[in-house]
Amino acid sequence: MDKRTELIEIATKLFSERGFENTPLSIVCETANVSKGLIAHHFKSKNGLLREIFQRTTDLIVEMNTIDSVSLSARERLLQLLESFFSQLQSDKLFFQFNLNMMVQPSTREVLADLIEERSSFILKATRNIFDEIDPENSLVKSHLFIAELDGIALSYLGVYKEFPLEQTKEQLIMKYSMI
Amino acid sequence: MDKRTELIEIATKLFSERGFENTPLSIVCETANVSKGLIAHHFKSKNGLLREIFQRTTDLIVEMNTIDSVSLSARERLLQLLESFFSQLQSDKLFFQFNLNMMVQPSTREVLADLIEERSSFILKATRNIFDEIDPENSLVKSHLFIAELDGIALSYLGVYKEFPLEQTKEQLIMKYSMI
DNA sequence: TTACAAACTGAACGTACGTGCAGTCAGTAA
DNA sequence: TTACTGACTGCACGTACGTTCAGTTTGTAA
């Protein structure tokens, strides 16, 4: 594999597991069997590497939210969104760990400010598209609440509550949003 | 004021604003006008300082959740909990910033593992007490969902969405949980 | 084969940071 | 006054880490 993309994959994993600040480049290099110089060459700096990784995860999110927006009712799209959220949450904890990390930590938030802004406004717009069809009057609040709900679930499931009942929560939510 | 508690207050603020890893002791000392040695003397280490701060915020949470649990119906307690959550969220952003930070960042999570466990199990138990009275069958799932909802709102309001409609969200939630 | 660019190495530099420690100073009990 | 304790200082040590850069290798087009 391309050393460049290999570096990105390895750094993504390490940054997710250990946090950005707590992952020295030396460990990234060790794991990838490259020299520090190569990272400078490809990404200019540690921050540069981070920004590229974050951008890639944004691309992934955008992709997930745009493939299927055709010819489905709002409720169907909502349920599909829930499905993909929960399956992603189960299959790729690190993905959420990474994103939560970046959003919450002040130092990374600064580095990524513009990219975070871009991503979150996209997510809000996509969600609002759905709720506009369901309850145009309150679509803004309901979108925010929906997003917050999912983020909160990820937060609880990821680290705080080891015994978080993911399956039952999913059922609850699907029930709730089926009757909307 | 006591230098010790002054140090705790200053460090709390700085850790909240800048994150733990990104706040060298030198800055804490500069702000408090003390030497590094004093921190070692009182708290043994930077981690020691962090643990004491975290413990104090836990005490605060416990206090908030226990004063009023007498002679009110479950629904009333739930609404009261919502009230105090939202008023706290508006008046003390840093409090939530700090706690989210500690929960999400892998390195601090490790340092605080036992304290986090202790705190979160307390919160779950307190919340479950309420939902046991409302819907014993699903009290576990509903408690988790409730907690996640609030955490998610804090997360959105705090940093990701500058224009988060806090007032309307509060109204929505109060409405929803009044009809429970 | 030559020439040039991109990939990549390795070592060195500078510095930022947590910890340890010897020592000063203030308060207090005998 | 003496002796003891805890608050507190200031410096220095060690080291971990990001960046830089001169130089080497690899790939590729002419």
**Which whole number is the average pLDDT over B116-144?**
96
Q: What is the DSSP letter of B132?
A: H
Q: Which of A23, A121, A160 is the mutation pick for testing B, counting most B CBs within 10 A?
A: A160
Look at residue A45 in the predicted model and tell me its pLDDT: 97
Asked whether residue B66 is domain-assigned, the answer is: yes
**Which whole number is the average pLDDT over B54-65?**
93
Look at residue A69 in the predicted model and tell me its pLDDT: 60
Does the pLDDT of residue A67 top 80, yes or no?
no
Verify if strand C has an atom below 7 Å from the CB of B36: yes
Nearest to B103 among A18, A140, A159 (CB): A159
Residue of B nearest to A138 (CA): B168
Is B179 near chain A, with CB under 8 Å?
A: no
* A11/A34 Cα distance (integer angstroms): 12
CA B153 to chain centre: 13
Task: Tell me how many residue pairs between chain A and chain B have CB atoms under 8 A apart.
Answer: 133
Look at residue A68 in the predicted model and tell me its pLDDT: 64
To the nearest whole angstrom, how far is the Cα of B69 from the nearest Cα of chain A? Answer: 24
Asked whether residue A96 is domain-assigned, the answer is: yes
Asked whether residue A163 is domain-assigned, the answer is: yes
**Which whole number is the average pLDDT over B137-165?**
96
Does the pLDDT of residue A70 top 80, yes or no?
no
**Chain A residues within an 8 Å CB radius of B169:** 141, 144-145, 148
Does the pLDDT of residue B147 top 80, yes or no?
yes
Contacts of strand D, CB cut-off 7 Å? A 23-26, 36-37, 39-40, 45-47; B 3-4, 33-38, 40-42
Model confidence pLDDT, tens digit, residues A72-109: 888 999 999 999 999 999 999 999 999 999 999 999 99
Residue A173 CA and nucleotide D12 C1' are separated, in Å, by 60
Does the pLDDT of residue B72 top 90, yes or no?
no
Is B19 near chain A, with CB under 8 Å?
A: yes
**Which whole number is the average pLDDT over B117-145?**
96
* B133/B75 Cα distance (integer angstroms): 9
Look at residue A119 in the predicted model and tell me its pLDDT: 97
Nearest to B151 among A107, A147, A156 (CB): A156
Contact state of A153 with B152 under an 8 Å Cβ cutoff: yes
Count the domains in chain B. Answer: 1
**Which whole number is the average pLDDT over B106-125?**
96
**Which whole number is the average pLDDT over B32-61?**
96
Residue A119 CA and nucleotide D8 C1' are separated, in Å, by 49
Among the listed residues A152, A159, A14, the one whose alpha carbon sits nearest the alpha carbon of residue A85 = A152
Asked whether residue B80 is domain-assigned, the answer is: yes
Helix axes B36-43, B25-32, angle to 10 degrees: 100
Asked whether residue B98 is domain-assigned, the answer is: yes
> What percent of chain A shows pLDDT beyond 70?
98
Does the pLDDT of residue B154 top 80, yes or no?
yes
What's A68's domain CATH number? 1.10.357.10
Asked whether residue A106 is domain-assigned, the answer is: yes
To the nearest whole angstrom, how far is the Cα of A108 from the nearest Cα of chain B? Answer: 10
Asked whether residue A71 is domain-assigned, the answer is: yes
Q: Count of CB atoms within 10 A of residue A108's CB?
A: 24
Asked whether residue B9 is domain-assigned, the answer is: no
The mean predicted confidence, pLDDT, of chain B is 94
- Residues A19 and B106 sit within 8 Å (Cβ to Cβ): yes
Could you tell me the two tokens for B43? Answer: 């708290």
* B180/B175 Cα distance (integer angstroms): 9
Residue A51 CA and nucleotide D23 C1' are separated, in Å, by 29
Q: By residue range, what is the domain housing residue A167?
A: 50-178
**Which whole number is the average pLDDT over B119-130?**
96
Model confidence pLDDT, tens digit, residues A143-173: 999 999 999 999 999 988 999 999 999 999 9
- Residues B79 and B47 sit within 8 Å (Cβ to Cβ): no
Model confidence pLDDT, tens digit, residues A103-137: 999 999 999 999 999 999 999 999 999 999 999 99
pTM of the model: 0.93
Contact state of A105 with B19 under an 8 Å Cβ cutoff: yes
- Residues B28 and B45 sit within 8 Å (Cβ to Cβ): no
> What percent of chain B shows pLDDT beyond 70?
98
